[in-house]
Amino acid sequence: MKLAYKIILTFLTPLVLALGLWGWLSYRTMSEKIHADTDLILRDYSDDIIMRFLSGKELPERFNGAYNTYYIESLTAEEAASVNAVEYGEAEAFLRSQEEFASSRIRKQVFQDSEGNFRRLTVSLPTFEQEVLVEHVLWWTIILFAVLLLALLAICIVSLNYNMRPLYRLLKWIDGYQPGLHADKVPSDTDIVEFRKLASTLEEAVTRIESQYEERKIFIGNASHELQTPLAVCNNRIEMLLERPDLNEEIATELIKIHRSLGGLVRLNKTLLLLSKIENGQFPQTSEIDLSALLQENIKLNQEIYGHKNICIDVESTSGCVVSIDEQMASILVGNLVKNAFIYTSQGGQIEVKIWESGFSISNPGTAPLDKDMVFRRFYQPSGRREGATGLGLALVYSVCINNGLDVNYDFENGRHIFSVILKNSK
Amino acid sequence: MKLLIIEDEISLQEIMASALKKEGYIVETASDCKTAEDKLSVYNYDCVILDITLPDGNGLDILADIKKSGSSVNIIITSARDSIDDKIKGLELGADDYLAKPFHIAELAARIRSVTRRSRNAGELSYKAGNVTLYESSQRLTIGGNEVSLLKKEFDILKYFLMRPGHMVDKAVLAEAVWGDHADQSDDFQYVYAQMKNLRRKLSEAGADIEIKSVYGFGYKLITP
């Protein structure tokens, strides 16, 4: 979740609840006030009628054109005792002017006339006006609530985006940062203390990373120097021994064996250095490379080398597969996968290569699936160590892929090991 | 011919010196920048083999100094960092050739022969043995003065041998040098034999007086007259 959304959400949730409560309360208060007003009108009205009745004055017309009506009934003393003196209620009252019944508020009051007889006056006032009023109050409360909420939301978003700009600039800078590439300065043109602190911390971290990166690069250079020279000396001494005239075949065979093992060591050293170089992202010079051409080239080369295996190659290509990648990286990627397939295919087996626009796959026959989590690890060799193998081929492939925005997958289907490489952003 | 080897790794320096002395060169050595500069200012050399990483400075500075003094000495730089940057920088500064460590001494000897002969070949590096001359950058081959055309792999194999005349070459090493990393785990050398057969046939048909002989069943040797 983006920080802006999170802030807006945590800010607005209690606000919505508070505003809702406020709206509901004000609606309740308003509607209660309206009902209380109605009851007041009814009381005044009934007081007026009772006063007129008791003083013998002429009573108003029962249906005088206004909506309020009344009637007076006689009660026995027992009835009068069994009901409340004053009672409010809701009832359907007939409106003559409208020729229909309407829901009304009624007020009943028991009183005694001058002869001491009990009478009950019922006055009624239709409530539709009040209902309309209450409905209006409700609508306006809702509208007010919505407008207020939207306005708050808009202000919130605008002010957040405005104030977060330095943070977004920093994040964009981080996204674009690659160690070893001379990047722009960390953006710190803000007067907000926290963001300034963040920028300066980042600046320090970057300086540290850069110097460590530099040290690591120097270390790799030195390690390569330190290891390769003694290896070269050993190699050359063996070669000089091989030139000696007093050499016999037995010793020469042993020397050649040592020489070959040493060759393996040199290769291992070279591959490890290459691997750390890739992981350091030291191959940033990319160009558009058609992997399908590279695949064909590698297949041809391996067919020559592994010609004695009589391997059958089936290439299915629907289009070229163009990737933006360093040239050397591309040939490491393709070369290792193709070589792997050739090495692990037995006599007369079949290698299938599929190429499409956003990737390629290479498969070779196998007996049992490999461990998916282990297959790209360094020195993983499930079928025991092969003479001369570094056990780093697939680790190299994996490193190249993750450093170049490619996905590499291993699957085992229908008795075949399938390695596929897919462009991440165009699946 | 007089050579100066500037190399801080003593064991490597010793082996280079003894191998090159065997080839008939007069060899002097230096292990750091200071000694190297002293020797260069006093004596004249035909070829300098210069290591880039030295304990008290960068070999490229020595190279720049030599070129500034207007000397026409041939310079071959060696470096363990097989980085393209070093190579380009060195060649731009006027080095005649670049050799990445680890290298075979025999290859170094071939490069020395090649760069010192360069002035006679209109500036092109070439390798010569008997009546066979191979021109590296134009990918040409002449035998007894006649042009002979070779396929890419045959050319690469012959070049490998011409760089190591009289030295034993392991077929596994040859395979890796010519076919690249792809060949490092192959245990059947049919493809090497096939190319070798064609190359030998072409050499003898063109009347070459050099011969690539099989040795002990695991390698080859280029025999020169």
Domain boundary among A251, A279, A307: A279
Q: What is the pLDDT of residues A38-92, one digit of tens each?
A: 889 889 988 988 888 888 888 877 766 567 788 888 888 888 888 888 888 888 8
My answer on whether B88 and B24 are in the same domain is yes
Beta bridge partners of A406: A423
For A307, the closest chain B residue by CA position comes to B191
Out of A224, A249, A253, name the one closest to residue B80 (CB).
A224
Q: What is the pLDDT of residues A332-380, one digit of tens each?
A: 999 999 998 998 888 889 999 999 988 999 999 988 888 888 888 878 8
My answer on whether A404 and A324 are in the same domain is yes
My answer on whether B217 and B204 are in the same domain is yes
The one-letter code for the residue type at A82 is S
ipTM above 0.85, yes or no: no
**Domain holding A118: CATH number?**
3.30.450
My answer on whether B14 and B46 are in the same domain is yes
Q: Which structural domain, as residue segments, surrounds residue A231?
A: 193-279
For B183, the closest chain A residue by CA position comes to A305
Q: Which structural domain, as residue segments, surrounds residue B45?
A: 2-121
Beta bridge partners of B77: B50, B98
How many Cβ atoms are within 10 Å of A326's Cβ, its own excluded?
Answer: 20
Chain A residues whose beta carbon lies within 8 Å of the beta carbon of residue B18 = 240
My answer on whether B134 and B112 are in the same domain is no
Query: How far A231 CA sits from the closest chain B CA (Å)?
Result: 7
A427 has pLDDT over 50: no
Q: How far apart are CA B186 and CA B190, in angstroms?
A: 10
My answer on whether B206 and B157 are in the same domain is yes
My answer on whether B175 and B114 are in the same domain is no
> What confidence score (pLDDT) does residue A426 get?
52
Q: How far apart are CA B155 and CA A392, in angstroms?
A: 31
Residue A176 within any structural domain of the chain: no
**Domain holding B173: CATH number?**
1.10.10.10
- Whether this prediction's pTM lies above 0.80 is answered by no
A residues 275..314 contacting B (CB < 8 A): 298, 301-302, 304-309
Q: Which of B23, B174, B181 to mutate: most A Cβ within 10 Å?
A: B181
Domain boundary among A279, A312, A344: A279
The answer to whether residues A389 and B185 touch, using CB atoms and an 8 Å cutoff, is yes
My answer on whether B98 and B198 are in the same domain is no
Inter-chain residue contact A335 with B102, CB threshold 8 Å: no
A302 has pLDDT over 70: yes
Number of domains in chain A: 3
Number of domains in chain B: 2
Domain boundary among A119, A134, A149: A134
Query: How far A257 CA sits from the closest chain B CA (Å)?
Result: 10
My answer on whether B116 and B131 are in the same domain is no
For B19, the closest chain A residue by CA position comes to A240
Q: Give the residue ranges of chain B where pLDDT is below 70.
A: 80-84, 118-124
Task: Give me the count of residues in chain B.
Answer: 225
Inter-chain residue contact A253 with B216, CB threshold 8 Å: yes
Query: How far A249 CA sits from the closest chain B CA (Å)?
Result: 6
My answer on whether A209 and A269 are in the same domain is yes
Residue A318 within any structural domain of the chain: yes
Out of A253, A266, A343, name the one closest to residue B185 (CB).
A343
My answer on whether B20 and B112 are in the same domain is yes
Domain boundary among B105, B121, B137: B121
Chain A residues whose beta carbon lies within 8 Å of the beta carbon of residue B106 = 239
My answer on whether B67 and B156 are in the same domain is no
My answer on whether A115 and A22 are in the same domain is yes
My answer on whether A332 and A237 are in the same domain is no
In our burial notation (b when 16+ CB lie closer than 10 A, e otherwise), range B116-150 reads bbbeeeeeebbbbbbbbbbbeeeebbbbeeeebeb
Query: How far A191 CA sits from the closest chain B CA (Å)?
Result: 43
Residue A170 within any structural domain of the chain: no
Alpha carbon of residue A274 to chain centroid:
35
Q: What is the pLDDT of residues A184-224, one digit of tens each?
A: 788 878 888 988 899 899 889 988 988 887 787 677 666 76
My answer on whether B89 and B158 are in the same domain is no
Residue A149 within any structural domain of the chain: no
**Domain holding B75: CATH number?**
3.40.50.2300
A343 at B interface, C-beta within 8 A: yes
Give first-to-last CA distance, chain B, whole Å: 22
A182 has pLDDT over 70: no
